[in-house]
Amino acid sequence: MKLLAGNSNPMLAQAVADHLDLPLTRAQVKRFPDNEVWVTIDENVRGEDVFVLQSTSFPANDNLMELLICIDALKRASARRITAVLPYFGYARQDRKTGGRTPISAKLVSNLITRAGADRVLTMDLHSGQIQGFFDIPTDNLLAAPLLAEDIKRNYEKPSELLIVSPDVGGVVRALALASRLNADLAIVDKRRSGPGKSEVANIIGDVTGRRLIMFDDIVDSAGTLCSAAQSLIDAGAVEVSAYVTHGVLSGSAVQRVNDSVLKELVVTDSIDTSARAVNGKIRVVSCAPLMGEAIRRIANEESVSKLFD
């Protein structure tokens, strides 16, 4: 098999390659003077099983076009099978019509990846489960809960005494999966959303008084909602609040907002390259390379991927 990397997350791509003991495929992913994407594969891929690793994170449109053009180049170079590996699937939050005359962009992006020539998709912690059904090709959605549960066990004494908190009703299933791995209790923040990226805490379901809390979510963008939820939990009597989030989008002044908040720490994976966002202070990064690498190895060897989460 071969592993090809775009420009979205070179550090994760190299870490996955190291895990697989496999060199990255030689390729040039550059720009024309007018910023059009130009891709050249510099080695033979005819008849090969090729994995293209590219998160469609900021700049989302540029990284998405890189992915599509890489897939097209591989298809025209007669690769036997092409797997699009998206540690972070952008546009996932637009997964349904939220009002009149609005798009379902997640479905559009899944169509683009399929029509470009991908034979299957590997991603991690999709924003909602139905996105997996948007693809007309086999799609594996990896779970970050086991990876983050192991980090919690290494860094927190008596993890079973922690209280896992879902920051909204929609994330209950995700938070429950983490709580069950730690044998911990669960609480829920009833969050009312007034617009895209805007919400307020209406209620807290569960007793948080005197407890150490860990909020668990899939995406942290501006971190405004996360930090306000942490403040509400502290006001309700929690001793300390940490957050574990799979995808650290961290747009705008999110890093500063987290560092100024009551959060003890924010832990994210490297599904999105955070090197350009000056991640520091309370924010810590856990690598998902072993998980992604093992999933790639299993797909290449026609082995079960779901066994990773048994």
CB within 8 Å of 148: residues ≥ 6 apart: 178, 216, 244, 246, 267, 269, 286
By the 8 A CB rule, do 82 and 74 touch? yes
Contacts of 173 (CB under 8 A, 6+ apart): none
What does DSSP say about strands 37-41 and 27-31: parallel, antiparallel, or unpaired? antiparallel
Task: Residue 263: count other Cβ atoms within 10 Å of its Cβ.
Answer: 24
Q: Residue 158 CB: number of other CB atoms within 10 A?
A: 9
Start-to-end CA distance of the chain, whole Å, equals 26
Beta strands in the chain (DSSP E): 2-5, 27-31, 37-41, 49-53, 81-86, 120-124, 139-142, 163-166, 185-195, 198-205, 212-220, 240-248, 266-269, 283-286
The owner of tokens 């379902």 is 104
CA distances from 44 to 116, 250, 272, 301 (A): 20, 38, 29, 21
Nearest one of 178, 153, 148, 156 to 166, comparing CA atoms: 178
* Active-site entry in 191, 198, 282, 307: 191
**191 included as an active-site residue:** yes
Tell me the three-class secondary structure of 219-238, residue by residue: EECCCHHHHHHHHHHHHCCC
- The amino acid sitting at 267 is V
Question: Any idea which residues carry the catalytic annotation?
Answer: 191
